[in-house]
Structure formats: structure tokens, C-alpha cells
Amino acid sequence: MTLAPAYGAESPIAELLEPEDLLPIAERRLVGNYRQASFVLERGKGCELWDTEGRRYLDFCAGVAVCSLGHAHPRLVAAIAEQAARLMHVSNYFYNAENARLADELCKKSGMDRAFFCNSGAEANEAMLKLARRFFFTRGEPDRYRVIAFDNAFHGRTLGAVALTGTPKYREGFGPPLAGVTHVPYGDLDAVKAAMGPDVAAIFVEPVQGEGGVIPPPKGFLPGLRSLCDAHGALLCLDEVQTGIGRTGTFLGSEHDGVEGDAIALAKGLGGGFPIGALLIKERLNSALTPGTHGSTFGGNPLASRAARTVLAVLDEEKLMEGAVTKGQRLAEGLAALAKEHPALCVGQRGRGLLQGLTLAQGVDTRAVLGRARAHGLLLTVAGATTLRYTPPLVVSEAEIDEAIAITGRVLAEMKP
């Protein structure tokens, strides 16, 4: 069998367009809903990317915490190629071997009992929302559908996920929001207690708010939510889309707080770049989504499942979760040192594992800093209004972390008044 090109190798297929033609085509043909940089990426290897002009970039975005094994990891490339030649997709009217194996592995790793598969984090959260509401409907409590979510949260772009998202700008212009969602300040247990009632079906929470600005919870907050849910008979729904799959140094981000959810949404790093999302649940919730109540045409297909199983295997074999702890500490210490060195520009560092943020001072043009970093060959993202987010592949080396810190330092030095 002929496999895909070797790790980081050039494709043998000749380019159909000259590199200089691609940028104007992209700008003319793609819907303008993203703020995209003015270059076209072409290939990658590990934590490095190259554009069509041959410029090299250090990737500390990783597709927004998606490319957990970096780019063109040989195990993942080979697994996808082999599975595509064997079986790519079948309907969910039938079981498939790779999906059954993946469900078993995820449940064992997470302590959950059942898995539903979809294509993205938004879909996983949408399924979790439907599950929470229908669970109480099937128990004869149809009026118990209210959900408590948090200011500054981000749960996805579908209408249900946007309703849960705690930033109003994401809901503007899309008509009346989904009813039955109450937002309270993240980290404020008293506010959650005040919002609880007999109509609350679930609390939705991120173990670390990612898009909101890389904000870890205060000590005791997640255990407090667990206790409130237990006391009121509500479900604790954990959005682990960005914090799961080893990103924070444990398989699930909630493990740092010793908290177990009733339902968990996963995506991003699960497929290592191949689209897949998952909803994991406890057995007692299994009867809520009966045949016909929810589904996904592509969810759980053999190709996505094989990719995810390969990610899980490499995660263990290459000890990437342990690496996320040590390398995350190196990254955090480097960013904290930069914040102390540039107090007029930086508020400080925060994060867990390889989900780190450098928060800039009010008045600093965050996107200008982002642009200068790109010009120096470092790709980052912005989280919230003022935080530079660092989410490198879990395979990142210490030397690459040091390079990213050094580039950030040069950028901050250039930004000095």
C-alpha cells in the first residue's frame, strides 16, 4: 500500500496555481467572516508551518488547540491513509469497528460510560444541551429546562451554543436568543447559588475559560458547582473542548479540581486536526436520547475515529500529558518573566499546562502585537480582548518554547513607548 508523503515532505502533486495567485483568490472567494492574515499556509511539520512564499512560522496556535500532535505526525498520517483505503464512512444505522473501539477507550480514560460522536465542539455542546433538557423531560419534568452558564464563556457558534456563550456580541443580529439560559459571573459561587431553582436542568462550565481570556477557575469553584448540582438534582456539564485531551496536563481539565461531570463535551485536540467531537455521559443519562431524538450524519465515522484513536495512543506512548505539565511550566514561567520585564505593557500570565495566556495592559493594541509576532514568525491567537493565547502542539520542544518566548520579548520591546 502506498501511504501519504513522509513526515513534512513536499507533496509530489504539482501546484495548479502560482503562489501569488492564491491570496487574491482567497480574499475574493471566501466569505469574509474571519480576520485572516495576508499569507497562505501550505505545509507543516511538527510545530512549524510554511506559507506559499516559503516563509517559516513557529505555530503556537495549533489550529486553536486542535493539532495536538503537531503537523504531519507520521503515526497520524499513516493511520488516516490506511483507514481511508479500508473504510471511510458508513451510516450510523450500523456499528463500525473503529468507532466502537474509540468509544470504549474514551470512556475508560474519562470515567464516563457512553459516547455520542459528532464533528465539532459546537455540536458536542449542542448535543449536551439537548441531552440535559430532554433528560428531565423524560422524567416528567418538562418545565425543568433552564441552564446556568457564565459571563465570558464560549461554547460554539450554533444557535444553541451561542445562547450558552456569555459574550453578547456573539448573539447580536441572529434574532431572539434561545430561552432558558441564565448567565452569572465566572468564579462567583454565590451568584450561582442565587440563580439556582427547581427549573434548573444543568450548569455548563469550562474548566478554564479559553476564548474568554485563558481564565482558570478560583480554588473551590468547580467543586462548589458539583455540590450545588448534587444538592439541587441538576447536571454538571463540562465543556472540555479546549481543555481536554491532555492540553492542561491531565486528560480532562476538570481533573485539576477533582471534579467529575455528568456529561462532557470534547473536540479540538481529539482528532489531532481531523474533525471530530464527542459527548461523554454517565449511564443514568443514556435513556434521554432515544432513537430519532438526535444524530449526526458524519459523526463517528471510521476515518475520524481512527484518527482519534491514534491521537490517544500517541498521547500515552510519547507521554504528552506529562510533557504538558513540564513544558507548560516552562512556558508559564517565561511569560511571567516577560510580564515583569514589561509592566507597562503586560498585566500578567495565567493558564494551565499548554493552555497559557499573556494578558496585555488596557490601551495596548493586542492585534498590533499579534501582527508583529507574525512578522517575526510566531503564530498566536487572541483570547478575550487583551490576552495573547499560547496553545502549541503537545509535541512542542523546550527549544521551541524558548524561541516563542524570545520572539514575544522582541515584540514587546518594539512596542515600548
Q: Indicate the pLDDT class of residue 21, thresholds 50, 70 and 90.
A: confident
Q: Is 239 annotated as a binding residue?
A: yes
Average pLDDT over residues 219-237: 98
Residue 14's pLDDT is 43
Angle between helices 398-415 and 320-341 (to 10 degrees): 20
Report how far residue 243's alpha carbon sits from residue 292's, in angstroms, rounded to the nearest whole number.
31
Q: Indicate the pLDDT class of residue 48, thresholds 50, 70 and 90.
A: very high
Average pLDDT over residues 64-72: 98
Q: Is the pLDDT of residue 15 over 90?
A: no
Residue 19's pLDDT is 45
Cα 123–chain centre separation: 13
Q: Is the pLDDT of residue 8 over 70?
A: no
Average pLDDT over residues 78-97: 98
Q: Which three cell numbers stand for residue 312?
A: 490517544
Nearest to 389 by CA among 124, 212, 239: 212
Q: Is the pLDDT of residue 367 over 80?
A: yes
Percent of the chain having pLDDT more than 70?
A: 95
Q: Which CATH number fits domain 19-66+319-415: 3.10.129.10, 3.40.1710.10, 3.90.1150.10, 3.50.50.60?
A: 3.90.1150.10
Report how far residue 2's alpha carbon sits from residue 240's, in angstroms, rounded to the nearest whole number.
36
Q: Is the pLDDT of residue 110 over 80?
A: yes
Percent of the chain having pLDDT more than 90?
A: 90
Which residue has cell 475520524?
A: 304
The answer to whether 192 and 225 have CB atoms below 8 angstroms apart is yes
Q: Is the pLDDT of residue 40 over 60?
A: yes
Quick one: three-class SS letters along the chain? CCCCCCCCCCCCCCCCCCHHHHHHHHHHHCCCCCCCCCCCEEEEEECEEEECCCCEEEECCHHHHCCCCCECCHHHHHHHHHHHHHCCCCCCCCCCHHHHHHHHHHHHHHCCCEEEEECCHHHHHHHHHHHHHHHHHHCCCCCCCEEEEECCCCCCCCHHHHHHCCCHHHCCCCCCCCCCEEEECCCCHHHHHHHCCCCEEEEEECCCECCCCCECCCCCHHHHHHHHHHHHCCEEEEECCCCCCCCCCCCCHHHHHCCCCCEEEECHHHHCCCCCEEEEECHHHCCCCCCCCCCCCCCCCHHHHHHHHHHHHHHHHCCHHHHHHHHHHHHHHHHHHHHHHCCCCEEEEEEECCEEEEEECCCCCHHHHHHHHHHCCEECEEECCCEEEECCCCCCCHHHHHHHHHHHHHHHHHHCC
- The whole-chain average pLDDT of the chain stands at 94
The answer to whether 363 and 372 have CB atoms below 8 angstroms apart is no
Residue 177's pLDDT is 86
The answer to whether 208 and 253 have CB atoms below 8 angstroms apart is yes
Residue 10's pLDDT is 53
Kindly report the pTM of this predicted structure: 0.93
Q: Indicate the pLDDT class of residue 33, thresholds 50, 70 and 90.
A: confident
Report how far residue 344's alpha carbon sits from residue 24's, in angstroms, rounded to the nearest whole number.
39
Average pLDDT over residues 206-235: 98
Q: Indicate the pLDDT class of residue 20, thresholds 50, 70 and 90.
A: low
Q: Is 395 annotated as a binding residue?
A: no
Task: Spell out a b/e string for 320-334, using b for 16 or more CB atoms within 10 Å of the CB, else e.
Answer: bbebbbebbeebbeb
Q: Is 381 annotated as a binding residue?
A: no
Q: Is 248 annotated as a binding residue?
A: no
Per the model's pLDDT, the better-predicted residue between 238 and 17 turns out to be 238
Q: Is 408 annotated as a binding residue?
A: no
Domain(s) labelled CATH 3.90.1150.10 in the chain stretch across 19-66+319-415
Q: Is 122 annotated as a binding residue?
A: yes
Q: Is the pLDDT of residue 3 over 50?
A: no
Domain(s) labelled CATH 3.40.640.10 in the chain stretch across 76-317
Query: Which residues carry out catalysis?
Result: 154, 239, 268
Q: Which CATH number fits domain 76-317: 3.40.50.360, 3.30.559.10, 3.40.640.10, 1.20.120.530?
A: 3.40.640.10
Q: Indicate the pLDDT class of residue 1, thresholds 50, 70 and 90.
A: very low
Q: Is the pLDDT of residue 378 over 80?
A: yes
